[in-house]
Amino acid sequence: MKRLLPVFLLIGLLVAFSIPAFAQDGCMDELGCVEIASDDPVVIGAMLSVSGATSFYGEDSLGGIELAISGRDGMLLGREITLVVEDSLCSAEGGQAAAQRVAADETIVGVIGTTCSGAAQGAMPIISEAGMVMISSSNTSPSLTNDDTEAGGTYLPGYFRTAHNDLFQGAMGAQYAVEVLKAGAVATIHDGDPYTEGLAVVMANTFAGLNGEVVFQGAVSKGDTDMSAILTEIAASAPDVVYLPVFVPESEFLVSQAANTPGLEDAVMMTADGSFSATFAQNTGAAAVGVAMTGPHVSGEAYSAFLDLWAEEQPGGTEAPPSGFHAHAYDAVNILMDAVEAVAEELDDGTVLIGRQALRDAISAVENYDGLTGSLTCQDESPYAGDCATGTALAVFEITEPQVNDGDWPPPIVWDLSMSMMMMNDG
């Protein structure tokens, strides 16, 4: 027994030391807490595509985030807010690298990002494992909120988004093609990105479900400028609608070259929010007139005020937001900041504790949040797990002369779900 005495002593000492440590820590959260000392700032992370060809999407969201922070005078919980921006590019590797840097920083309470769905797929395993939350303002790939891995779902706890799910957007494109354009045959083009591919597949499936015929499903590569080969092939299959939910500038090349492709004169070109920017119409020129596009429909007084503020402060040096997801980013960071405020516990010495699971729960519980992008309610069931947008802030737009010649934006709305004969039941 004597030999065990030092062991008991050691255990006793350890317990004695750890009791005050627990008492002082006070963190009861199962995923741990972010601890902010009394004079430390609140750190918010952003993982956005801020370099490369898609950097204007990142700058668009970053502007929304900066305006939301300055809207609170840069203060949260009585502390200054520090924004840490990591470049997640528009690829899985970029997302993974950015997530590793973010996860290594224990002071970060939550992350806004990523810009591209592909980057989110690389980032989420790390972010989720670290117990953090990530709210995306522009991921729209259905796989990100679907937990059925056999169906390609990649949902992981801690993921949220204020952008719409493409299950809404792709279906909407198909319904418009059938109900309004009376199309019988459709061709789809994607560019290999999970976002564009997901959208093309949802559109094709919905269209086939509405008794339409999918006559061509093909793909281009990012960076292609010469689309004559694929357009020639599409013309050979004679579709009524060509659905091309790809990014700019590939969509610009496709639409402008389709106008000169024999056999596609009467086909309606239809694109999605990857091309939803004022420069799409101007860059594409006359061929853009008549192009239908699904995209975020954000309006209202609060949004007008937001745009005025943007013009005044010019985050990133642009007078107007360069793309269509700045309002989503504004809502995302506000939801995060509200949730942080709601779950923060202040200790006697001024230290603030933010429980990581509590933060996830608080965001999950968001209901009827009055954001710039409409009323947001975060859901928790696959295939909409983490979806805070309901798809009501979407519309079909049709480009007309003023968008091409004068840079008017957005184009007139020609259709939305309220006009549909077969309202979606699951929305």
Q: How far is the CB of 252 from other proteins (least distance, A)?
A: 4
The C-alpha atoms of residue 209 and residue 136 are separated, in whole angstroms, by 30
Q: Which residues of the chain form contacts with other proteins (CB under 8 A)? A: 51-53, 55-56, 59, 191-192, 218-221, 223-226, 228-230, 232-233, 235-236, 248-250, 252-253, 256, 260, 262, 277, 279, 282-286, 317-318, 322
Q: Which residue's CB is nearer to other proteins, number 246 or number 394?
A: 246
Nearer to other proteins, 281 or 332 (CB): 281
Query: Taking the complex as a whole, how short is the minimal distance between the CB of residue 251 and other proteins, in angstroms?
Result: 9
Decide whether 55 or 294 has the Cβ nearer to other proteins: 55
Query: Could you write out the DSSP letters of every residue in 192-244?
Result: S-HHHHHHHHHHHHHHHHTT-EEEEEEE--TT----HHHHHHHHHH--SEEE-
Min CB(265)–other proteins separation in Å: 13
Nearest CB to other proteins, comparing residues 146 and 256: 256
> In whole angstroms, how close is the CB of 305 to other proteins at the nearest point?
24
Q: How far apart are CA 233 and CA 132, in angstroms?
A: 47
CB-nearer residue toward other proteins: 250 or 387: 250
| Closest separation in Å from C-beta 221 to other proteins | 5
Q: How far apart, in whole angstroms, are the C-alpha atoms of residue 48 and residue 365?
A: 25
Question: Which candidate, 89, 85, 77, 142, places its Cα nearest to that of 111?
Answer: 85
Residue 146 near residue 385 (C-beta atoms within 8 A): yes
The answer to whether the beta carbons of residues 59 and 87 sit under 8 Å apart is: no
Q: Is 362 helix (H, G, I), strand (E, B) or coil?
A: helix
Nearer of residues 228 and 377 to other proteins, judged by Cβ: 228
Q: Which is nearer to other proteins, 265 or 367 (CB)?
A: 265
Contacts of 113 by beta carbon, 8 Å cutoff, 6+ apart: 45, 46, 47, 48, 61, 86, 88, 98, 119, 120, 123, 134, 136, 137
Beta bridge partners of 186: 214, 241
Least distance from C-beta 233 to other proteins, angstroms? Answer: 6
- Provide, rounded to whole angstroms, the least separation between the CB of residue 268 and other proteins: 20
Written as one letter, the residue type at 138 is S
- Strands 394-398, 413-415: pairing kind: antiparallel
